[in-house]
Amino acid sequence: MWLEELRRRERGELRARRFEALARSRRAASLALSNRKEIATPHHGAVNSLQVDLTEGRYLLSGASDGSAAVFDLKNATEYEAGFIAKHRSILLVDRQHEHGHKFVVSAAIWYPVDTGLFVTASFDTYVKVWDTNSTQVVMDFKMPGKVYSAAMSPIATTHMLIATGSADVQVRLCDIASGAFTHTLSGHHDGIMSLEWSTSSEWILMSGGCDGAIRFWDIRRAGCFLVLDQLRSQQGRRPPFLDSAMEKQDQKNLTSSPSSKSNSVHQRTGSRKKHSKALHKSQTLIRGHTQQRVHPGMSSSQNRTTAHYGAVTGLKTTTDGMHLLSSGSDSRLRIWDIDSGCNTLVNFEAMRLHPRKPLQLAVTDDPSLVFVPCMGSIKAYNMWSGTTFQTFRGHYDHVNCCYYNSQDQELYTGSNDRQILVWSPATPALTEMEDDDKRQEGFAADEDNWSD
């Protein structure tokens, strides 16, 4: 009940922040196919990637299988259908007709995080291109060794302008917009890289999910990956009871010299906690870096074969607070990882069927309470902590590839093989009734019926 909460906020019983969080989560919980907003896609192929710009939260960028990428203004509709259904047409389109357009599938289209002046597209034609939004010209391109599956830029980077790219090749490559060259190649995966995600708490940390089932954590300031997630390692017993802890420490001392996975994990646990305290923990990080190198120089140890999923890792998504990582795999599993410790949280998500061979773009609400997962032809929303299905969104006619949750407006955008981008917005139950006094009711109701199911 809005009213009650407004009233509680007014008298200071409900903290303003909390009110906001409540309102957001309530609206997120009421998402339904929007009867107010439509996005008219100019794409002639499956929509593979969706992202809203991070600065204004206003422009939606989409990438599609016909090699095109488009931008939509979410705040200003191009026209109104029947007077009140806002239609958003693309305000910018780069497709195969464009002189520098991609030849094949655009697998990822991402905004430059700092402003809307640039965006990046990655394509199966092995190119990653950086576009100037205003002139719609390619300002830079990077040739990859294979089909590019994913591209990612750090949303919090202040000292680098790197595009992380994952392709059919086993290496993650970092392309530097500032210099126009590759700065890093991160080796470790045994197969192509389907998904990439930068950490939201440290601009140096990159996470990659490969077709080999591994999720690797990279600190781009030093060589090698520092963590490989293990689906079998859970949080149980992470904090031993007081009496046992002394013994544990004894164990550790004995084990530090031997490069066993056990001691390694202990080091990681203490070390990776530095992310929230920036400078003061640098020294600690460095020390850890050394031990890391010694303990785990090449990827030859047993950890090298550790997997996060059986089969390929198809999607990665960190929560906004940077504490948890979500991953989806071709084993039709969704896992939540505690980034700090690298443990599998063992949240058991209800049965789902995921597309096994395509990168999936997952979405999480801000709080984080809900996870949106493209499950073949529908999108499922799961309760993040219990793993139960919260809602199933049906509306697409074909496989869904990507979801993007706009936390500013609490809207979900989904792109599918049916070439549509659908908008799911918080339902307004009173709305339908409110229409009564206008005569637009009929046409509008008909519309709604068309969409559901």
Round to whole Å and give the CA distance between 392 and 9.
Answer: 32
Toward another protein, which CB reaches closer, 3 or 446?
3
Question: How far is residue 296's CA from residue 351's CA, in Å, rounded to a whole number?
Answer: 36
Measured from the CB atom, is 24 or 333 closer to another protein? 24
Beta bridge partner(s), residue 88: 39
CB closer to another protein out of 301 and 345? 345
Q: Between residues 156 and 178, which has the closer beta carbon with respect to another protein? A: 156
- From the CB of 336, what's the least distance to another protein, in Å? 12
H or E, element range at 24 = helix 16-29
In the complex, least distance from residue 72 CB atom to another protein, rounded to whole angstroms: 15
* Of 56 and 398, CB closest to another protein: 56
Pair 91, 72: CB distance under 8 Å: yes
Transcribe 50-108 into DSSP letters. Answer: EEE-TTTS-EEEEEETTS-EEEEESSS-SEEETTTEEEEEEEEEE-TTSTT--SS-EEE
DSSP designation for 308: S
d(C-alpha 257, C-alpha 261), whole Å: 11
Shortest spacing between CB 430 and another protein, in angstroms? 5
Nearer to another protein, 181 or 431 (CB): 431
Cα separations in angstroms, 277 against 148, 282, 397, 420: 35, 9, 47, 43
Cβ 322 to another protein shortest distance, Å:
5
Closer to another protein by CB, 76 or 179: give it.
76
Distance CA 116, CA 133 (A): 7
Q: How would you label 282-293 residue by residue, b for 16+ Cβ within 10 Å and e otherwise?
A: eeebeebbeebe
The CB density around residue 251, as the number of other CB atoms within 10 Å, is 13
CB of 285 to another protein, least distance (A): 13
- Least separation in angstroms between residue 130's CB and another protein is 25
Least CB distance from residue 198 to another protein, whole Å? 13
In the bound state with another protein, the residue whose beta carbon lies nearer, of 401 and 425, is 425
The pair of three-digit structure tokens given for residue 413, joined into one six-digit string: 């955008």
What minimum distance in Å lies between the beta carbon of 310 and another protein?
A: 26
Residue type, 147: K
| Pairwise CA distance, residues 131 & 146, whole Å | 21
Under the rule (CB under 8 A), what is the footprint of another protein? Answer: 1-4, 6-7, 9-13, 15-21, 23, 26, 30, 36, 56-58, 75-76, 84, 156, 200-201, 235, 239-242, 245, 270, 273, 276-277, 280-281, 320-323, 338, 340-341, 366-367, 383, 385-386, 408-409, 428-431, 433-434, 436-438
Q: For another protein, which is the closer residue by CB, 145 or 240?
A: 240
**Cis before 240 (ω within 30):** no
Residue type, 315: G
CB of 241 to another protein, least distance (A): 4
Closer residue to another protein (CB): 187 or 201: 201
Cβ pair 116, 99 in contact under 8 A: no
Q: Among candidates 253, 287, 258, 254, which has minimal Cα distance to 270? A: 287
The Cα–Cα gap between 312 and 304 comes to 15
Residue 283 has phi, psi (to 5 degrees) of: -60, -45
CB of 88 to another protein, least distance (A): 13
In angstroms, the CA 441 to CA 342 distance is 53
